[in-house]
Copies of this chain bind each other. A is one copy, B any other.
Amino acid sequence: MQGEKKIIPRKLSGFMELSPEKQIVFDNIQEKIKDVFNRNCFMPLDTPVLELAEILLAKSGGDLDKEIYHFDKGDTHIAMRYDLTVPLARFVAMNSETLSYPFKRYQIGKVYRGEKAQKGRFREFYQCDADIIGNEQLPVAADAECVNMLYEIFNKLNLEVVVNISNRNLLDGLIEEMGLTGQRNEILTALDKLDKIGEQNTKAMLQDLGLNDKNISALLNVCTLKGDSTKLLAKLSELSKNETYLKGVHELQELFTYLNAYGAKNCIINPGVIRGQNYYTGTIFEASMPSHPEFGAVGAGGRYDNLAQYFTDKKLPGVGMSIGLTRLFDLLDKNNMLPQEPKSNITLEIIPLGNTLPTCLGLATYFKEGGINTQVNYDERSFKAKLKAANTKQIPYVLIVGEDEVKNGTYALKDMLNGTQSTLSKEECLKTIKKDA
């Protein structure tokens, strides 16, 4: 192939591909999220990336969304999953008789959206989802479990967030009281823009929808409340006597009792939280970072009445939380907020001097069995070049194995951080390195 025409190596745009050094950081974050899910006794699930198109399009009544990657293979119309919720619904509907409820599952996996590539948008990205599915009913304690877990995750990642919480019934109740239920979705869409376009523009949008000034100020009044849960709950409970509205207030009250019991911090009531998805029916929440409001929601979730309504008559209420890890990682990376990058995952590099490679390999087995990430540098470069490279890669320890060392059974262990070198048996080397790890 030398000299022949080459294909230019390039990847698709909108697809994240990290350097191995950064991938270590990404994997560590993912591992921490997985740990929190497991610690909370959610069970893992790994559904296929590909589904029958009719399954993924069930929600839209079969209409093809431009964002969905789909294709025919033989007689089968196949689509790539665009979230982890529809596959969960399909899984639960298929296995509803054998699952034990409440069914708590997590899934960390890639999802696909073929939208126009733009800054900060990815066509392939990791979602980290956890949901609790009930059979017929599901108590508010499940909502608290999901909100608390979102808090725990960011706490574990050392990222300070505020979790803004509302309940869909608050605004639904007010809209019902105003006799505007027919315009519910348009009103919610307008209110959802409040943070972005400001109060005046939102007002104008609501006026365009034909709302009178009294209703507009009632809605904006509720949506701009924010703050300490105890005071706000008292205030909220006085604003309307509508039943749906008061159901929302009571659910929020119960939710905050549980969140306080868990010890979850930085959870506030914010009735201005709307969350786009129409399927949320109760608790809704999103986490944002006070230090970086421009990041928007870095995690979110909510309660839905009926997970699998397109697949089964069974009533399966649920509540879930989700983190878009690829986007979050990208934001942290661009703002230098990632934990310091390691240059490698090597703890010990063994460098043979002279004809000692076989001995070095045996030593590598010894140190690996001792739990140390070890590699033997069998490269043909000079000893000096190898030491320099180990330094650049910030490898903490280098073991130098010359022919004399092999005879004596003691080796030169170099601590690369402070530059000291000691002659030790392999057992002493292991002890020294482990003390440090």
Contact = CB atoms under 8 A, between A and B. Distances in A.
Interface of A: 1-3, 6-12, 15-21, 23-24, 26-27, 38-41, 43-52, 54-55, 58, 69-71, 73, 76, 78, 89-91, 93-95, 100, 102, 104-105, 110, 112, 114, 123-124, 137, 139, 141-142, 144-145, 148, 152, 257-258, 260-263, 306, 308-313, 344-346, 357-362, 364-365, 368, 371-376, 378-380, 389, 393
Nearest to A16: B48
A26 to B, nearest CB: 7
A361 B58 contact: no
B258 A358 contact: yes
Contacts of A9: 55, 89-91, 93-94, 308, 311-312
23 contacts: A7-B311, A9-B90, A9-B94, A9-B311, A10-B94, A11-B51, A11-B55, A11-B90, A12-B76, A17-B46, A21-B43, A23-B45, A39-B374, A40-B373, A69-B78, A73-B114, A100-B393, A104-B375, A139-B379, A141-B357, A142-B378, A148-B361, A152-B368
Q: Which 5 A-B pairs have the closest CB atoms?
A: A71-B71, A20-B43, A261-B358, A141-B378, A9-B93
A6 B310 contact: yes
A373 B39 contact: yes
Q: How many copies does the complex hold?
A: 2
A374 B144 CA distance: 15
A32 to B, nearest CB: 14
B313 A258 contact: no
Given A41-B346, A378-B141, A52 B10 contact: yes
Contact of A380 (B23, B100, B139): B139
A73 B78 contact: no
A345 B43 contact: yes
Residue of A39, A358, A364, A371 with highest tally of chain B CB at under 10 A = A39
A102 B38 CA distance: 37
Contacts of A76: 12
A332 to B, nearest CB: 17
